[in-house]
Amino acid sequence: MSAPTALPAWKKLSAHKERIGGSGLPGLVVDEPDRFSKFSVRADGILYDYSRQNIDSEVLADLLALAEQQNLPTWRGRLYGGDPVNVTEKRAALHMALRTQPGDRWEVGGVSVTEDVIAERMRAYAFAEAIRTGALRGSTGARFTDVVELGIGGSHLGPALACDALAAFSDHATRVHFVSNADGADLARTLAHCRPEATLFIAASKTFTTQETLLNARTARAWLESALGEGQFAKHFAAATAAPDRAEAFGIPREHVFRLWEWVGGRFSLWSAVGLPAMVALGRKHFDELLAGARDIDVHFRDAPLAENIPVLMALVGIWNRNFCGATSHAILPYAEALWLLPTYLQQLVMESLGKCVDRDNAHIDYKAAPVVWGMQGTSGQHAFYQLLHQGSDTIGVDFIGYREAIEGDPQHHPVVLANLVAQAEALLVGSQNPDAYRSCAGGRASSVLVFDRLDPRNLGRLIALYEHQVFVQSVIWNLNAFDQWGVELGKQLGKPLLTELTGGERAEHDPATAGLVDYLLK
């Protein structure tokens, strides 16, 4: 692969930005009465509307040419073929296989993984159902009323999002909690609502060495043993990991250990046994729908022409805004209270995958990659930071996400939500003029809108998979590896000797600033 800046399409896009800058976005829209139909795509009950982007037909053509020139179809084939697209760790990134159905075939290194994935999914479903029905019980014979997932990052955010977003589809027979922080207050606040004899912990860690997860797991084990007796915790623990021997060494029975694969990255692992808390909360039927929705998008991304491919278009619009329009950040604005965790989930997905300045060829890049991702659910965000969107000095990418139907609450509220979504997109586009400059909003601020029929398990699966594939497309265009995270590893490595120091151990050599801070903390 090559740096995208060397490609003919990149150079043409740079010229387009100068050309379009004169007319501005409102002018583009006024000049094209059929703009909505030209710059929106429908697929699988989804509308992706990018008609309010600062794009015309020539820009779109060259964005699509950029994808072709950077060999996106070839890289997509490598991704789906189980090739080691995670080049630094020499691994496949085949999270799509976790959504597999009988009759599909997914291979890693020429070996089918379909049968293993389905078999492990059935094990997890059976375990979750045993919890839901009371067939699986704790050491005293009490039924489990609470399940506490211990994980962090990708082992935490996906299932937490699914459980919260789909709470309306849960029977709430078993309460599901999530603990990620090493700060003991996180676990303590959760355990205050649980009874040891009726609580099951799920430790989710790919390596089963994650410091925060193991710290919380040891504390949870001690909490159980103090109430139930030494050695009585085993029936109250399960694990999702690619290191089953370590989970067993911790004391978790093998029949409670569920498998991950090395070709599954943490931030793409919701669809595996990491999703066990969501299986407990939602049941097999709804989790199957979640998987089916993601699989819908896997098929769409694989088969749809680039010009009609929603994740491809989302990615290209993001690249246009980041590299040619100067966007420094990207706001995720779901107009659904149930999706309040979505911006946090996408922060990790995007910034851990694309927050890099060295490309696949081990060379430093000379162009911008991942924007800062942030956001909040509408309409709450309108009273928090939309002032910046309308009158701030930065260029910010915006995705509005909405649903045509309400799923919970008073249905009279939903038209208000939809009206606000459309009004904010329109306000960013057209702005307003006032004799007092401080009252004026310039307009011409771009946004995209994703609309689904309803917020249900299938559409949540579709939504998450759209962004997964968008990240992959952008990694190809930017020539980055989306599936490693070496910057995360550095902090972990430095934390180990510092923990020794802060707990009375031998002092290590540090830079003067760090040494001074350690001295202060040890006083």
Q: Catalytic site residues?
A: 352, 383, 492
141: number of CA atoms within 13 Å, CB side? 0
Residues 268 and 283 sit within 8 Å (Cβ to Cβ): no
Residues 330 and 59 sit within 8 Å (Cβ to Cβ): no
Residues 9 and 58 sit within 8 Å (Cβ to Cβ): no
d(CA 377, CA 8) in angstroms, rounded, equals 39
Pick left, alpha or beta for residue 167 (phi over 0 → left; psi -120 to 50 → alpha; otherwise beta).
alpha
Pairing assessment for the beta strands 46-49 and 40-43 based on DSSP bridges: antiparallel
Helix axis angle, 157-165 to 457-477, nearest 10°: 140
Coil, helix or strand at residue 281? helix
* Integer CA distances (angstroms), 136 to 133, 223, 228, in order: 8, 20, 17
Residues 92 and 107 sit within 8 Å (Cβ to Cβ): no
Please provide the DSSP assignment of 370-402 as one string.
Answer: PPEEEE--TTGGGGTTHHHHHH-SS-EEEEEEE
* Integer CA distances (angstroms), 478 to 96, 346, 482, in order: 22, 19, 10
361: number of CA atoms within 13 Å, CB side? 10
SS (H, E, C) 205-274: CCCCCCHHHHHHHHHHHHHHHHHHCCCCCHHHEEEEECCHHHHHHHCCCHHHEEECCCCCCHHHCCCCHH
Coil, helix or strand at residue 10? helix
The alpha carbon of residue 112 and the mean position of all alpha carbons in its chain are separated, in whole angstroms, by: 27
Report phi then psi at 248, rounded to 5. -65, -40
Angle subtended at Cα 34 by Cα 32 and Cα 36, rounded to the nearest 5 degrees: 105
* Integer CA distances (angstroms), 283 to 126, 194, 378, in order: 10, 22, 29
274-285 as b/e, with b when 16 or more CB fall inside 10 Å?
Answer: bbbbbbbbbbbe
Residues 367 and 478 sit within 8 Å (Cβ to Cβ): yes
Angle subtended at Cα 58 by Cα 55 and Cα 59, rounded to the nearest 5 degrees: 40
